[in-house]
Copies of this chain bind each other. A is one copy, B any other.
Amino acid sequence: MDLATALGLGIGLVIVMVVMIMDGGSPMELFAHPSAILLIFGGSIAATTITTSLETVKSLPKVIASAFSVLKMDAYASVELLVTLAEKARKDGLLSLEEESKKIEDEFLQKGLMMVVDGLDPVQIRSVMETNIEQVRAQRRVGYSFFNTAGGFAPTFGIIGTVMGLISVLKQLDNPSMLAKSIAAAFLATLWGLLSANLLYLPLGGKLKAKSDEESHIRYMQMEGLLAIQAGENPRIVRDKLSSYLPPRPAQKAAAGTEVKAQTAPNESEG
């Protein structure tokens, strides 16, 4: 569970409701005119759908879920695993890693290690792994771009809704009792446009991009580790090299480090 996403969204919604009550209103008023909600969410998602594919739209529930869950990769456990592999490679030779590779659950690391064991040219391995990392990053970008694009469309659909509302208001000028209520309804569209963009679309897009950047960063670190193992580098140097990719491990986490269940076979990661 990614607490920042859940807390930020929850607290943001609570604040909006509290402010509505402090202003002498009720949060229920937000839902008084369903046409505003329909226009803002329908319009922004329809417009964004045009820019992408139905596959992307279908994958959105999974993408949204990933914004609320923590990244499965543990960078610090990866360093431990790679240093252990470097030690084993030094002691028993590169070929001894074939057996180890079968225990690795992470497909990217496993395929990379297999290429190392197979003795492929390092330039080739780097090229294949980089293309793979960038391919995954491009796929992630399709996902979070949906939210950023929708966050760009939503406020405009809010203004569209308000202008549409104002136009219909101007036809009722002879009915002053309805006038104020209609103007308020018109502004509701602007409100939904701004709220959906600023509490939902843009923050989710930002979180998903941050997660994707972190993921690529760890992947590049893993790639450098595998190439260092292939080059037969000293395990101490491998640790130095990989650690330079990461912020110093926070104290409490480091202490609990040996019990961490990582994506790698745990009995290997502390070898």
Q: Which residues of A contact B (CB under 8 A)?
A: 2-5, 7-9, 11-12, 15-16, 18-20, 22-25, 29, 34-35, 38-39, 42-43, 46-57, 115, 120, 124, 127-129, 131-132, 135, 138-139, 149, 153, 155-157, 159-161, 163-168, 170-171, 173, 180-181, 183-185, 187-188, 190-191, 194-195, 197-199, 202-204, 206-207, 210, 217, 237, 240-241, 244-247, 250
Q: Given known contacts A19-B35, A19-B39, A163-B194, is B187 in contact with A49 (CB within 8 Å)?
A: no
Q: For the complex, give the distance between the alpha carbons of A261 and B250 in Å.
A: 30
Contact in complex: A199, B163 (CB < 8 Å):
no
Q: A51-B202, A160-B191 are in contact. List 10 more A-B contacts (CB 8 A).
A: A7-B54, A9-B50, A12-B43, A22-B34, A46-B199, A47-B198, A47-B203, A52-B210, A128-B244, A170-B187
Q: How many copies of this chain sit in the oligomeric assembly?
A: 5
**Main SS class of interface, A:** helix
Q: Knowing A39-B16, A57-B4, A159-B194 touch, does A164 contact B23 (C-beta < 8 A)? A: yes
20 residue pairs from A and B, CB less than 8 Å apart = A4-B50, A4-B52, A7-B49, A8-B48, A8-B49, A11-B42, A15-B39, A19-B38, A19-B164, A22-B34, A25-B171, A128-B241, A131-B245, A135-B244, A135-B245, A159-B190, A163-B190, A167-B191, A171-B180, A171-B184
For residue A184, give the distance in angstroms from its CB to the closest CB of chain B. 4
How far is the CB of A86 from the nearest CB of chain B, in Å?
Answer: 14
A171 to B166, CA, bound (A): 16
Determine if B38 and A149 form an interchain contact, defined as CB atoms under 8 angstroms apart. no
Residues of B near A135 (CB, < 8 A) are 244-247
Instruction: Judge whether A244 and B206 touch: CB under 8 Å.
Output: no
CA distance A115 to B203 in the complex (A): 42
B170 and A207: CB pair below 8 A? Answer: no
Nearest Cβ in chain B — how far from A133, in angstroms? 9
Is B23 a contact of A131 with CB atoms below 8 Å? no
